[in-house]
Amino acid sequence: MLPPGADVTFCVFSSLVKDPNINARAAQLTNIGFVIVLVIFILSNTKREKIMLRIVRGIKRQMHDMSFDKKNDLRPEKWY
């Protein structure tokens, strides 16, 4: 039971500060948050990489199907 006029948030905070393991708990929460952010970052990057690889494969396929010689594309030889 709280004494009359006591603030609930202050009582909870003061009990957490008195806890000797508060630094260990904070470190655990920080590590868990870091791992979650890292996993989300890796998953988003792999999805982006897959999309980019699909685009590059499509460009390579189109370049392979073209009839001109790629070496002479910028300076074509005379064909007449």
Chain-wide mean pLDDT for the chain?
A: 69
Q: What integer pLDDT is reported at residue 27 of this predicted model?
A: 66
Q: What is the pLDDT of residues 28-56, one digit of tens each?
A: 667 777 888 888 888 888 888 888 888 98
Say how many domains are in the chain: 1
> Would residue 70 count as lying in a domain?
no
Say if pTM beats, i.e. exceeds, 0.95.
Answer: no
Residue 76 in any domain: the answer is no
- Residue 22 in contact with residue 16, Cβ under 8 Å? yes
User: What is the average per-residue pLDDT within 1-9?
Assistant: 53
The answer to whether position 45 is within a domain reads: yes
Q: Does a structural domain hold residue 2?
A: no
Report if residue 20 sits inside a domain: yes
Query: For residue 72, is it within any domain?
Result: no
Q: By C-alpha distance, which of 55, 79, 56 is closest to 69?
A: 79
User: pLDDT tens-digit profile of 62-77?
Assistant: 877 666 555 555 666 6
Q: In this structure, what token pair is assigned to residue 30?
A: 């920080």
Structural domain range at position 29: 8-65
25 phi and psi, to 5 degrees? -65, -40
Is residue 75 one of the residues assigned to a domain?
no
